[in-house]
Amino acid sequence: MQIKLIEAAMQARQASYSPYSGFRVGAALLAKSGEIFTGCNVEIGGHSATCCAERAAIVKAVSQGVREFSAIAIVGGPDTGPIPGCFPCGVCRQALAEFCSDDLVIIVAENTEKWREFTLAEMLPHRFEEAAAE
């Protein structure tokens, strides 16, 4: 399943709109149902409005009524040259935490032959949870 997700993320990366950074990112989010939702980064001139690939995939899935996920693959890097592997930013980690359990598998890939896997708990060990805030 990892290779299928990485391939979907690589394909999504091609749709990236990244004229400012030249850093293209694609993500493929696997629902527990087996459905895959993809997203790419979309940069906006006022950078705070930029949407990361991971959040684009989450929003796509949630807007279609899907809210249970088991894995996400992320492929990102410069327009040209090698792809170094792209970790989700803090905002994306918190967005994943909103809809995913600690055992969500996060695949950070350079390509279909080289990737690393982490759990959400490893990437966001002390995530904000409403119950913890009370």
Domains and CATH numbers, the chain: 2-133 (3.40.140.10)
Give tens-digit pLDDT for 83-117. 988 999 999 999 999 999 999 999 999 999 999 99
The predicted structure's pLDDT at residue 60? 98
> Which one is catalytic: 35, 43, 54, 98?
54
The predicted structure's pLDDT at residue 133? 52
Q: Does 98 participate in catalysis according to the annotation?
A: no
Answer yes or no: are the C-beta atoms of 75 and 83 closer than 8 Å: yes
Q: Could you tell me the pLDDT band of residue 47, with boundaries at 50, 70 and 90?
A: confident
Sequence-distant (6+) residues with CB within 8 A of 12 are 26, 27, 28, 38, 39, 40, 53, 57
The predicted structure's pLDDT at residue 113? 95
Question: In what helix (H) or strand (E) does residue 107 lie, and over which residues does it extend?
Answer: strand 105-109
Answer yes or no: are the C-beta atoms of 26 and 75 closer than 8 Å: yes
For the segment 63-71, the average pLDDT, to the nearest whole number, is 97
DSSP assignments along 35-100, one per residue: -EEEEE-B--SSGGG-B-HHHHHHHHHHHTT---EEEEEEEEEESSS-----PPPHHHHHHHHHH-
Q: Is the pTM of this model over 0.75?
A: yes
